[in-house]
Amino acid sequence: MEWDLKKELEQLHRTSASASPVARLRAVNHRLASVQTDPPGTRLIAAVSGVEALSRSLIVHAAGRPPSTADMRYRQVRTAGPIELVEDVLRLYGAAEGSAQFGADTWMLFGLAHEYRNLLVHECARIEHDRCTPLLAATERVFKGLVEVGGLPRVVA
């Protein structure tokens, strides 16, 4: 059983590494849709994680990077946090820095969303709905901005 779980985890990492940004966008959109009626904290965890997943894929599969290096590049960014990942995407795709690209308030709130997400996950904490609303909105703006910067289709089923 333990061996099977380890093999499955390795396979999931390989699948994430090889998935194109469009495929990752589809997967993230599917996940975000599946948590729309969940408590705000659960939605925040999924939203920030979705930004991370899409950012990793955009970094791994940036123009000029051969597919044969995807696994190695994925390992390099696998443990990076969302702020670092988004900053790398913006740099790689020739966009402005985070606060200029998304607006200072959105970028600051996204940073807080990352911190709240970590608190929710690592401390088994709870967040009130009214606190979550601006964090979710900022995270959604960053996510949509990544879609635009990456030149991905706006709506992917």
CA 33 vs CA 30, 44, 143: distances in Å: 5, 12, 14
Share of the chain above pLDDT 90, in %: 88
Give per-residue pLDDT as tens, 128-149. Answer: 889 999 999 999 999 999 999 9
Write down the pLDDT at residue 87: 98
Residue 1 has pLDDT above 60, yes or no: yes
CB contact at 8 A, 95 and 55: no
Write down the pLDDT at residue 134: 98
* Domain positions in the chain: 2-149
27's enclosing H/E stretch is helix 21-34
Give per-residue pLDDT as tens, 25-77. Answer: 999 999 999 999 999 999 999 999 999 999 999 999 999 999 889 999 999 99
Share of the chain above pLDDT 70, in %: 98
Tell me the whole-structure pTM to 2 decimals: 0.93
**Lookup: tokens for 96:** 């402005």
